[in-house]
């Protein structure tokens, strides 16, 4: 892949695909600006180089129809505040009026297109829609890692139609940290996996077992592994149809010499909505009428004793129902511990990123990925269409 440093930007119409799919409150205010801040270096590079910047993104799931609640106006206003200069919002993302606005851009000026997903052609990777986007560009830059696992028109289709295609700085950083953590790691390498379901991470676990030295499993997905070991978990969430899968994963890890660590104790209650009877119990003594909702303090100690000797750590998925106190203590304790380590620590996944921020450790770990599904697919060993498209474009240019 080439980057923004490898091409001429002055006077060029630079179509920058970003991911401004950010959470908004009821008043339409941005409540988490991670993905906007992440692409500021690319935006500033283009503007400072005299590029004529066309910013494109989606927001939410408007299902191919124009919907005011999914307008990118709040994101554009927030970006303008960060830049200290206006970023007008176009009334659409394609069409004669948009083409005229792009033609009128001066060097170092920016325009934000309206939501790409107002058109069904975006998610369908429709060649005609991709062609209308490509008509706005001399240079295409992808800085939207979080959607690079989608073969959409603004991610994959457009790269076949714009002669110069490059990676933005954020996308490049995502790939570099992934390579450092999983393709060329300093060992020992520990993988920490949490979240609710084993079923959504079977491919991830299989791929990581082949790479890791240590595998730590927490969150509700650990319950299925406990059942595979014949342990009772009360009324906790369990994927009964994946108990045999969990057993095979444990056996595979054992055969490969990967040491697997599961929680040794848990915080339990009758439900995450009921905090009246919250207890910490051994995994061997989970009451039949209660649910496991967080890892216990002894589990935190065990996990920390493993992680303190590792040089590379990748974490995906919380250790409990961290959105609801008091079931956030295990996740937050782990986050704070990782923030204090000198190891390469890479955090990926929406819930993990939210947890690390809420724990105040976002700026202390090595890297927090902006991708959820895209990060998971990399962990699974899959190729991302958006990355492949940039690599193929570079090959065409080189030949």
Task: Just list the catalytic residues.
Answer: 35, 197, 350, 373
Instruction: Name the strand (E) or helix (H) holding 14.
Output: strand 13-17
Is 61 in contact with 69 (CB distance < 8 Å)?
no
- Residue 214 in tokens: 């240590």
Instruction: Please state, in angstroms and rounded to a whole number, the distance separating the CA atoms of residues 369 and 366.
Output: 10
User: Sign of the C-alpha dihedral, residues 96, 101, 104, 106?
Assistant: negative
Instruction: Please state, in angstroms and rounded to a whole number, the distance separating the CA atoms of residues 153 and 67.
Output: 20
Instruction: Name the strand (E) or helix (H) holding 44.
Output: helix 40-48
**Residues listed for the chain:** 399
Tokens 């004669």: give the residue.
96
* Phi, psi torsion values for 251, nearest 5 degrees: -70, -40
Instruction: Please state, in angstroms and rounded to a whole number, the distance separating the CA atoms of residues 43 and 47.
Output: 6
For 52, 225, 234, 247, the CA distances from 286, given in Å and listed in that order, are 61, 15, 6, 21
Instruction: Please state, in angstroms and rounded to a whole number, the distance separating the CA atoms of residues 142 and 165.
Output: 8
Strands of the sheet with 367-368, listed across from one edge? 259-261, 214-217, 189-193, 312-316, 344-347, 367-368
């Amino acid at each position: 892949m080439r980057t923004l440093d490898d091409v001429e930007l002055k006077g060029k119409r630079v179509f920058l695909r970003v991911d401004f799919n950010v959470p908004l409150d009821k008043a339409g205010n941005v409540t988490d600006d991670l993905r906007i801040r992440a692409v500021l270096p690319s935006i500033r590079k283009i503007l400072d180089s005299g590029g004529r910047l066309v910013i494109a993104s989606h927001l939410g799931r408007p299902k191919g129809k124009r919907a005011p609640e999914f307008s990118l106006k709040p994101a554009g206003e927030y970006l303008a505040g960060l830049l200290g200069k206006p970023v007008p919002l176009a009334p659409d993302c394609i069409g004669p009026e948009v083409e005229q606005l792009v033609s009128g851009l001066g060097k170092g000026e920016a325009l934000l297109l309206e939501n790409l997903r107002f058109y069904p052609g975006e998610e369908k990777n429709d060649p005609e829609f991709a062609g209308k986007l490509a008509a706005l560009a001399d240079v295409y830059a992808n800085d939207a890692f979080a959607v690079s696992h989608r073969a959409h028109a603004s991610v994959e289709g457009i790269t076949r139609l714009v002669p110069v295609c490059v990676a933005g700085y954020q996308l490049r950083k995502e790939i570099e940290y992934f390579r450092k953590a999983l393709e060329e790691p300093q060992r020992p390498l520990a993988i920490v996996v949490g979240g609710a379901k084993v079923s959504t991470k079977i491919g991830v676990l299989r791929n990581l077992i082949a790479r890791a030295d240590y595998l730590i499993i927490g969150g509700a997905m650990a319950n299925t592994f406990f059942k595979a070991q014949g342990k009772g978990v009360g009324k906790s969430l369990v994927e009964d149809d994946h108990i045999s899968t969990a057993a095979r994963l444990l056996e595979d890890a054992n055969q490969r010499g990967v040491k697997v660590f599961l929680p040794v104790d848990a915080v339990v209650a009758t439900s995450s909505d009921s905090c009246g009877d919250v207890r910490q119990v051994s995994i061997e003594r989970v009451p039949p009428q209660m649910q496991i909702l967080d890892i216990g303090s002894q589990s935190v100690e065990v996990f920390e004793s493993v992680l303190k000797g590792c040089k590379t750590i990748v974490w995906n998925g919380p250790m409990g129902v961290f959105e609801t106190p008091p079931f956030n203590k295990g996740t937050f304790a782990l986050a704070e511990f990782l923030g204090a380590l000198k190891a390469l620590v890479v955090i990926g996944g929406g819930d993990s990123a939210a947890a690390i921020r809420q724990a105040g450790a976002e700026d202390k770990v090595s890297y927090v990925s902006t991708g959820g599904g895209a990060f998971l697919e990399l962990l699974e060993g899959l190729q991302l269409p958006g990355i492949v498209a940039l690599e193929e474009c570079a090959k065409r240019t080189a030949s």
